[in-house]
Amino acid sequence: MNHFNNVMSQPCLENFYCAVDGNWGPWFGWSPCSDSCGGGTRRRERRCNYPPPTHGGKDCPGRSERVQECNEDECPEDGNWSPWSSFSTCSVTCGFGTMTKTRECNNPAPVNGGKECSGFPVHQQRCNHRQCPQHGGWSLWSSWSSCPVSCGEGERIRKRTCDSPKPLFGGNDCEGSDTDQQTCKLPMVCPIDGAWSSWTNWGRCYGPPCGKGQHRRSRSCTQPVAKHGGRPCRGFRSETRVCVNDKNCPGANDPQWCQWNDWSPCTATCTGLNSMQVRQRACLCPVPKQGQESCKGESFQVRECINVPSCMPAVVSNQDRNVGSENEESLNSTISTTSAFPEVVLDKESP
């Protein structure tokens, strides 16, 4: 029998534990990224438990955590409005208009797919100034009026009114005339009545020297001549009147009185002893030549005032009465004259 076979072994128990070094377990999954954009971090861990260090064994070498950058793309940035601008001036100087204010989506502007600003970049507000002047406008022409004559030519009219629109708020009136005229003709020719021409000068006086005779003047129905059934002139074509044939008549060229002047103003405001008027004439038609006699007759006349109220009666003495009688006789010596009007004879009436 082998000596070693004769040896029996048995476990020996000692109060002593072997050191066990720690070993890492598997990595856990990555945590979510700390930021969705713009660069964040994610983490994962492992545990030193496979096995854990015991009985003085060494810890697991290395780190228990890993950090990794993630979502490094820049973040989208939504746009935001700038402050509103001031309102603009009104779009019109009169009537109804608008004024505008604006803003921009640049505070900040959207980037990296960020949202645009919500709302409108322009805001308008109504502005109301004074009423604008409204200039007048013509209406359509009316129909032509009927021709106002029954024959020949006339003028017909048509009208329009300044009410399309009416001038308002200082607007201008319509330019041009509100009336239009047009010549209208009717087929019937109008009758033209005859009319006299002017009288001719008086013709030569036919009669004995220094005696009465006659002279004549005439006219014609030619201004115009009666036509188309018009009425002829009424009256006489010629007329004669009495004249004095003073050619080769002794004294025909002698001086003659000119016409009387007007009566002078009355010498009193009422009829009485001294109320009188005077008028004069001159021997100048023609002027007397050297050696010729002057005109015969008085160069002045005196008369009692006419159309003057009577004076109030007064008490007078007999002596005053006598003086008054003498003055009355003086007044009654007024020279009276008469005008001689020549006789006119109508010769012949026009047909």
The pLDDT assigned to 313 comes to 60
Grade residue 272 by pLDDT with cuts at 50, 70 and 90. Answer: low
User: DSSP class of residue 228?
Assistant: T
Considering the chain, what percentage of its residues have pLDDT values greater than 90?
Answer: 43
Say what the pTM is.
0.33
The pLDDT assigned to 136 comes to 95
User: Domains, the chain, ranges and CATH?
Assistant: 15-75 (2.20.100.10), 76-132 (2.20.100.10), 141-164+173-190 (no CATH), 193-258+283-289 (2.20.100.10)
pLDDT per position as a tens digit, 221-265: 999 999 888 899 999 999 999 887 776 666 666 777 888 888 888
The pLDDT assigned to 181 comes to 95
The 3-state secondary structure of 33-86 reads CCCCCCCEEEEEECCCCCCCCECCCCCCCCCCEEEEEECCCCCCECCCCCCCCC
The pLDDT assigned to 334 comes to 34
pLDDT per position as a tens digit, 281-321: 988 777 777 766 778 888 889 888 877 777 766 544 444 44
Cα separation, 176 vs 137, whole angstroms? 11
The pLDDT assigned to 59 comes to 92
Cα torsion 326, 328, 334, 336 to 10°: value is: -140
The pLDDT assigned to 258 comes to 85
